[in-house]
Structure 1
Amino acid sequence: MHEKTTKNADGTVRSLSNRHVQMIAISGTIGTGLFLGSGSTISETGPSILLIYLIMGIVFFLMMRAIGEMFYTDPNQHTFVTFINRYLGHTIGTFTGWSYWLSLVFGSMAELTAIATYVNYWFPNIPAWIIEVVFLVALMMINLIAARLFGEAEFWFSMIKIIAIVALIVTGLIMAFTHVRTPLGHASLANLTNHFTLFPHGSFSFFAAFPMVFFAFQGIEFVSITLGESKNPRQVVKKSVNETLFRIMIFYIGALAVIMAVIPWTSITADKSPFVQVFALAGLPAAAAIINFVVLTSAASALNSIIFSAGRHLYQLADDSNSDGVISRSLTHVSKNGIPVGSIVVTSVLILIGPMISVAHSVDFMFTLVSGATSDMSVIVYLLTMFAHRKYRQSSDFLDQGFKMPGYAFTSPLTIAAFIFIFASLLIIPADAIGAISAVVWVVAYAIGVAVKRFTSRSYA
């Protein structure tokens, strides 16, 4: 028998159970970067990568505690951007909302491209754009039917990722403790400390790994967006946020430590998935195909979550605009099943730009530029979230007996400093500089646009 669901004042339905939200939290924590990109981070920093993941894990945990504290006070909101709007003002809130929504849309295009790549592993003759359209329509339909169906899809997508990681950790530990001999040497925990140095390829490579790890955690905030449609939001926010650091320790640090125990870190390269290598060394001939399936479900999971999240953000933006026009009414329309249909459809249609780009390669550079800028905008969004939390602490909304951020006086400025460091590092890393500069240009252009609009309105007043 299903638990009784309740309906919010805006028509959305609280149908997501604790089981759904916990798995969505895990899904937001684990991305395809762990399965495919971990080889790149390990090759750059060696065992030091564990320290970087721990530091960034603590930073994201603290950010989630700040978000969780505000949601605990007001669990009826659909997105954390609402709090930016409330505590930093409508102009900054609107800027953040559109910036974050754009970053989700362009992020989903990247996931679509990845999905096509993974499917082409088995079916190389199917055009990428067909695969992208099929997956996009299927996931859009899942999001349009009911929030509970979205939750179920994420539950099983996440379960596949968890099984793969647990299987890797168990397999690796058995190999390490039994000192299995491989073509690369003996598997052993001693491989973690052999030839250890904090900066194996120089201090620049070490610090350049911080943004790489940051982007691996990007999307961890998705769990907060489910709270407006979960059955017991205050109970759920405590559990999901408090377990964030534990998940990072197990799924990232645990997996990477086991990988380096099986494969000497000096033998790990950026062009191969360490997951595939470990399973292959364990004697699993289908390792590449299995991991390809796992990353396919991981990319589909990410896209599914993005459609859900971006749809709610666009809905919130339209609702906050207080406009009564046709477009605004369409974007704020909620179906009988409690789904903001218009916002999800519009978001999905815009994501279709991705398949169009895969056909028209001539616009690749512009896509790279815009997607880089919107990805880097997430750092600014997180910063604004932390500033909104500080304003919340000074407001009458502050709940002294609520779900408070631990050590606020020290941890809040520490988290803000960490995000400033990440953005500053993007500006000096050649591969990220264009995106970071574009993000700055976007902020400046928006500010100029607001200033011009206000000046014009005063002139005609």
Structure 2
Amino acid sequence: MTTSTQRPGDELAQGFKPRHITMLSIAGIIGAGLFVGSGHAIAAAGPSAILAYVMAGALVVLVMRMLGEMAVASPDTGSFSTYADHAIGRWAGFTIGWLYWWFWVLVIPIEAIAAGVVLNNWFPQFDAWFYALSVTVLLTATNLFSVGKYGEFEFWFAMLKIIAIVAFIGLGLAALSGVLSGREVSGLQKLVSEHGGFMPNGWTAIIGALLTTMFSFVGTEAVTIAASESKDPAKNIARATRSVIWRISVFYLLSIFVIISVVAWNDPLLPVQGSYQRALEIMNIPYAKFLVDLVVLVAVASCLNSSIYIASRMVYSLGKRADAPAIVSRTSSSGVPRGAVIASTLIGMLATIVNYFAPAQVFSFLLASSGSIALLVYLVIAFSQLRMRSILQQRKIKLEFRMWLFPWLTYAVILFIVFALGVMFVMPEHRLEVTSTFALAVVITLLGMITSKRHARAVPPAARVVRS
């Protein structure tokens, strides 16, 4: 593996407390995708959308297990980008690192715009773009002070999201069981029998819904990035990885089950109002819109906060490996890579401005370019784990945390992702996302290969470290 020279002012602070990592791993990345976006997945696939969530959840569990094996053995801020660098080649770490950074930079305007819309509805005196930029500036400030400040913000954001999800599930189950008097709902059996069955739009609609559901799940892997800024990263990564199964089962699968049991998949208001709001309205819960808007505001603020953090740490790692400008690898006296934070946020703000003031097609194309990045990241993690297992064993590093049924489940993940990407490519509504992402990946890969050759020529043969 390659080594990097450490300079004063280069190191991140170990400012995360165990409770920060725990809460980040539980609900830190849950954004508007669950509270609002799930309505689009259900409207597209019907009740069988829950299968898309099951497949996406199972995929995430397996990927996290693979990533956990590598991260526990060798914690690193660059996480899977660093492991791809070591296991596949420098060009692979370069490519997946910059793609992941691009994904999270584009999440910044998505969440900022959502926050701006909610605040504009409440306080129409200012335009939504003003609120979007203001929220982004405010949360950028929390990321500039110290990682502990970010961790504290995310701790309470995540706590509020957990309370909201658990309360929603409780209300839904109470309504379905008849405990809430005067709030009768149809139930899953009636909705399935009267509205085209469990799979009204066929199995291809489930694969199509997978892209929407993946957007809700992506970010789970970021705990391996955050844990490197804690005092016991290996222990925190292992704990977070083990808990991913029940987190997905409770917060995602149980939520979606309640929604499809309460709301008919072809309800015209489902994709408009969002899944949580429509379900609460059918259950006759007062102030449903305000309550959901409040939860969405907290969720998007949390996800925006995390987006800035994740993007900055990934580009910081790229800078440490000389795959990004040196300024993004420098840290403040408090151990914060301020250059990386500001650079990532400025690009996110620019994308926000593009959404409001440029033709709509421009922002749509930017979003399309990131549409399949999550699946590409998971694909690279799987290939990296195949190679890293042999590298770690050759170096006689004891594996405290292992992938199940290696290598068969790893191969199964690779085949599933390739199959899903292939199906999405032949579906007209998802073809642009897949082709745009692949085109971007090809361009970045070429840049990565050029960069790798330049570095190889720049390093004297006697000073080179032999890559395993």
Q: Under a length normalisation based on structure 2, what TM-score does the superposition of the two structures give?
A: 0.88
Match status 1:377 vs 2:378? no
Match status 1:368 vs 2:364? yes
The residue identity in structure 2 corresponding to 1:22 is T
1:270 match: secondary structure = helix
Work out the CA distance in 2 between the residues paired with 1:232 and 1:453. Answer: 34
Alignment of 1:304-315 (within 5 A): 304-315=305-316
- Deviations along 1:125-165, one digit per CA (max 9) or x if unpaired, are 31222212211111111111111111111111111211111
Which one of 419, 434, 448 corresponds to residue 421 of structure 1? 419
Work out the CA distance in 2 between the residues paired with 1:455 and 1:387. Answer: 22
Q: 8 Å contact 1:168–1:278 — kept in the other structure?
A: no
Q: 1:273 to 1:370 in 2, by over 3 A?
A: closer
Work out the CA distance in 2 between the residues paired with 1:401 and 1:69. Answer: 7
Work out the CA distance in 2 between the residues paired with 1:394 and 1:372. Answer: 36
Residue 108 of structure 1: aligned partner: 108
The residue identity in structure 1 corresponding to 2:304 is L
Percent of aligned positions that are identical: 27
The residue identity in structure 1 corresponding to 2:373 is M
The Cα shift of 1:173 comes to 1.3
**Count of aligned residue pairs for this structure pair:** 446
Work out the CA distance in 2 between the residues paired with 1:238 and 1:266. Answer: 41
Residue 4 of structure 1: aligned partner: none
Long gaps (5+) in structure 2: 1-7, 458-468
Alignment of 1:23-422 (within 5 A): 23-28=23-28, 30-178=30-178, 186-188=185-187, 190-191=189-190, 194-195=193-194, 197-265=197-265, 267=267, 269-321=270-322, 327-328=325-326, 330-362=327-359, 364-395=360-391, 396-397=394-395, 399-422=397-420
The residue identity in structure 1 corresponding to 2:421 is F
Residue 465 of structure 2: aligned partner: none
1:389 match: secondary structure = helix
- Deviations along 1:281-301, one digit per CA (max 9) or x if unpaired, are 444321101101111111111
The residue identity in structure 1 corresponding to 2:380 is L
Long gaps (5+) in structure 1: 1-7
Q: 1:356 to 1:261 in 2, by over 3 A?
A: closer
Q: 8 Å contact 1:73–1:398 — kept in the other structure?
A: no
Work out the CA distance in 2 between the residues paired with 1:307 and 1:346. Answer: 10
Q: 8 Å contact 1:78–1:225 — kept in the other structure?
A: yes
The residue identity in structure 2 corresponding to 1:313 is M
Q: 1:393 to 1:276 in 2, by over 3 A?
A: same
Q: Identify the range of structure 1 (221-230 vs 46-55) with the bigger mean alpha-carbon deviation.
A: 46-55
The Cα shift of 1:201 comes to 1.8
The residue identity in structure 2 corresponding to 1:369 is F
Work out the CA distance in 2 between the residues paired with 1:29 and 1:307. Answer: 12
The residue identity in structure 1 corresponding to 2:173 is L
Q: 8 Å contact 1:28–1:222 — kept in the other structure?
A: no
Q: 8 Å contact 2:29–2:302 — kept in the other structure?
A: no
Work out the CA distance in 1 between the residues paired with 2:361 and 2:315. Answer: 26
The Cα shift of 1:46 comes to 3.0
1:226 match: secondary structure = helix
Work out the CA distance in 2 between the residues paired with 1:56 and 1:189. Answer: 22
Work out the CA distance in 1 between the residues paired with 2:253 and 2:265. Answer: 14
Q: 8 Å contact 2:16–2:230 — kept in the other structure?
A: yes
2:335 match: secondary structure = coil
Work out the CA distance in 1 between the residues paired with 2:416 and 2:68. Answer: 19
1:408 match: secondary structure = coil
Q: 1:446 to 1:152 in 2, by over 3 A?
A: closer
Residue 11 of structure 1: aligned partner: 11
Q: 1:155 to 1:372 in 2, by over 3 A?
A: same
